[in-house]
Structure 1
């Protein structure tokens, strides 16, 4: 008996009779063959290995990239993470804090495997950073898919969007795939990237794998289990900067309190009347869907949004920020908010360079470069610096407002944890409006 394996548009085609059912293989009457999703290739190969059949494996079409060597000397925890991934048969997720050198581990993995590799990243900024690292480390042409360029090389970096569009076309050209910020792979569309690629070796990198919607389970199914994890606390003081987190509570003004209570009551009264328990993100999504046909549900959601804006943008937060900026006049400070309008308000009042989703790529790069070289000592941002941007040497973060996401909090903390000989400890300030829902939000993200 013999079996032939080939790759066709994101699937593994199985011709011949293996004599026993194979995992994930279903019969395809159109081609009169078996079919399995591309990501099942490694499992198929392992299932066929002990059988008394000849296997003609034509799945991967890999270029020869020659011997590779990484110049980095891994720290003890980086080597332990790499060892854990190798022990897990070169599949799995590493959960390490921002600034801990996840990229260095991935470079070592690429050098170990010496196989064509695709690196998938969420932003163009990360795409450019990865291309620079790969080019410097291996002195090879590095392809790019995203940012207006579509060039494929044995070492290629792609945005999630570009990889999604071309995964079925390129799924047999890489033996290894690295998913940076792998939690993004939980998105329903992005999952197809991992499903269609045949690459048997898979590595996911993230600071926080778990997603509130539970989609991290899909990531585990497509990339592998979390094989190694460390918290910021485990590395603080030796490999990352030692740090403090200080929570500062502020009060609403009388006028702000009245607006907050009025709008919050509209929201809670609707929940009570409708017998809705807001115990999870899915409950909130149900309410959002209901608002499309129920005017009262829509009124309640709008009131909730107005209450949220009051508590997150309280005047006392701005006043307290003024005190913190004065206290840390000689430090490198990043101010985080949840709202673009507040970013521009703070930028005008304190003459802070501002970065939002509306900031053009060239302007954002210029601001960050001036922050790196010390021309600017402080910046204010709305969400866009949470991940995927290299911001070294900041040592103070002020969190004026944010979500209840543990990932967002961890990533913002990570912005100030890169070790530096110029300081002793980093500090993150959380400004929380007392006697509001923001107290529960702050507790949840911690």
Structure 2
């Protein structure tokens, strides 16, 4: 018995004149009178056929072996992570802290495998960083999918958005795919990228693998399980800066307290009367759905948003920030908030450069370059430096407001953990409004 495998529009086509043994993901396609499976199953199908003793004509890949070398010398913990990935047949996710050199491990794996590689990243900024790093390390042209460029090379870096559009066209080109910030792959659309690629070798990189919606389990099916993880505290003091997290509670002003209690009270009374608890996402979705037809539900939802605005943007947070900026006048500081409008108010009040999702790429790059060369010693950011941006070394982070996401907190902490030349400690300040729901938010993210 002989079976021929070919790649076709994101699928593996299996052709034979005889009855096939059971194969993963394979179904009969009546349109072509042939068996077919999503490309993600290619390696499993090949292995199953070999185990069954079936002769295979494999026409899926026809790429040359690449001669790549790197000057990187992996640290012991990086070698352990790489070896764990190799031990799982070159598939799986590595969960390592921000600043620990996940990119270095991926580049070492590219050199070892020597096959065409696709690197998938969430942002244009991160695409540019990967391209610069790869051009510096390998003497081969680097392709790009994203940012107005669609140019393929044996090593190509793509945004998730561009990879989603092109995966079925290039699924038989790359034998190795690296998903940076792999937790993004759990999104409904992005999952198709991994399904349509036939690449046998798959590596996911992240500082925070698990998703609150449980979609990390889908990622495990598409990329492989988490094969190695390292906590921040395992590296702090040796390979990352030692650090302190200091929580500062601030009080609402009398006027803010009255406003907060009024708005929060409206919200809580509606929950009590309606039987909702918001202890689960389903109850919150019910509230949102009810707000479209029930005036009281809409009032409650708006009241909750107003109460949140009051506690997140308390005046005493701004006064405390002023004291911290003065205390750390000789340090390099990043201030994080959850609200764009607050960033602009703080920028005007303290005369500090600000980066938000409204900041254009050239301006953002200029601000970060000036932070890097010391022209600026402090910057403000609204949710845009959490991941996917090469933030120059800072040693103090101030979190004025944020979500209850552990991922967001870990990424913000990671922005100040790169080792310091003077061996100094990094500090993250959490400003939390006392006697408000923000205390519970802060506990969740920790």
Shorter-chain TM-score above 0.5:
yes
Report what 1:436 is aligned to: 436
Matches of 1:406 and 1:312 in 2, distance apart?
18
Secondary structure, aligned partner of 2:418? coil
Question: Does residue 319 in structure 1 map to residue 319 in structure 2?
Answer: yes
Is residue 213–residue 282 contact of structure 1 (8 Å, CA) maintained in 2? Answer: no
Q: How many residues align?
A: 445
Is residue 405–residue 445 contact of structure 1 (8 Å, CA) maintained in 2? Answer: yes
- How far does residue 339 in structure 1 lie from its aligned partner after superposition? 0.3
Question: Does residue 34 in structure 1 map to residue 38 in structure 2?
Answer: no
Question: Does residue 22 in structure 1 map to residue 9 in structure 2?
Answer: no
Is residue 213–residue 281 contact of structure 1 (8 Å, CA) maintained in 2? Answer: no
Matches of 2:318 and 2:352 in 1, distance apart?
13
Matches of 2:290 and 2:238 in 1, distance apart?
51
Report what 1:368 is aligned to: 368
Is residue 81–residue 94 contact of structure 1 (8 Å, CA) maintained in 2? Answer: yes
1:10-409 correspondence to structure 2 within 5 Å: 10-16=10-16, 17=18, 19-62=20-63, 64=64, 66-409=66-409
- How far does residue 225 in structure 1 lie from its aligned partner after superposition? 0.2
Is residue 368–residue 392 contact of structure 2 (8 Å, CA) maintained in 1? Answer: no
- How far does residue 65 in structure 1 lie from its aligned partner after superposition? 5.2
Matches of 1:125 and 1:219 in 2, distance apart?
24
Matches of 2:70 and 2:128 in 1, distance apart?
19
Question: Does residue 411 in structure 1 map to residue 411 in structure 2?
Answer: yes
104-113 or 417-426: which moved more? 417-426
Give the TM-score normalised by the residue count of structure 1: 0.98
Is residue 118–residue 177 contact of structure 1 (8 Å, CA) maintained in 2? Answer: yes
> Alpha-carbon deviations, 1:162-189, whole Å to 9, x = none?
0000111111100000000000001000
Matches of 1:288 and 1:405 in 2, distance apart?
21
> Alpha-carbon deviations, 1:326-365, whole Å to 9, x = none?
0000000000000011101110111110000011110000
Is residue 392–residue 416 contact of structure 1 (8 Å, CA) maintained in 2? Answer: no
Question: Does residue 7 in structure 1 map to residue 7 in structure 2?
Answer: yes
Is residue 121–residue 179 contact of structure 2 (8 Å, CA) maintained in 1? Answer: yes
What residue ranges of structure 2 are gaps of 5+ in the alignment?
Answer: none
> Alpha-carbon deviations, 1:174-212, whole Å to 9, x = none?
000000000000100010000111101000000001111
Is residue 11–residue 37 contact of structure 2 (8 Å, CA) maintained in 1? Answer: yes
> Alpha-carbon deviations, 1:203-229, whole Å to 9, x = none?
000000111111111111110000000
Matches of 1:190 and 1:394 in 2, distance apart?
32
Is residue 241–residue 419 contact of structure 1 (8 Å, CA) maintained in 2? Answer: yes
> Alpha-carbon deviations, 1:256-293, whole Å to 9, x = none?
11111111122222222221121233432343233333
Matches of 2:76 and 2:230 in 1, distance apart?
12
Matches of 1:139 and 1:276 in 2, distance apart?
60
Report what 1:426 is aligned to: 426
- How far does residue 19 in structure 1 lie from its aligned partner after superposition? 4.0
CA change 1:177–1:18 in 2 (3 A) is farther
What residue ranges of structure 1 are gaps of 5+ in the alignment?
Answer: none
Is residue 66–residue 116 contact of structure 2 (8 Å, CA) maintained in 1? Answer: no
CA change 1:151–1:282 in 2 (3 A) is farther
CA change 1:169–1:290 in 2 (3 A) is farther
Matches of 1:61 and 1:148 in 2, distance apart?
28
Secondary structure, aligned partner of 1:59? coil
Matches of 2:42 and 2:292 in 1, distance apart?
43
Matches of 1:119 and 1:270 in 2, distance apart?
48
Is residue 344–residue 354 contact of structure 1 (8 Å, CA) maintained in 2? Answer: yes
CA change 1:60–1:27 in 2 (3 A) is same
258-267 or 275-284: which moved more? 275-284
Is residue 2–residue 18 contact of structure 1 (8 Å, CA) maintained in 2? Answer: no
Matches of 1:187 and 1:295 in 2, distance apart?
33
Is residue 195–residue 222 contact of structure 1 (8 Å, CA) maintained in 2? Answer: yes
Matches of 2:440 and 2:337 in 1, distance apart?
17
- How far does residue 423 in structure 1 lie from its aligned partner after superposition? 4.6
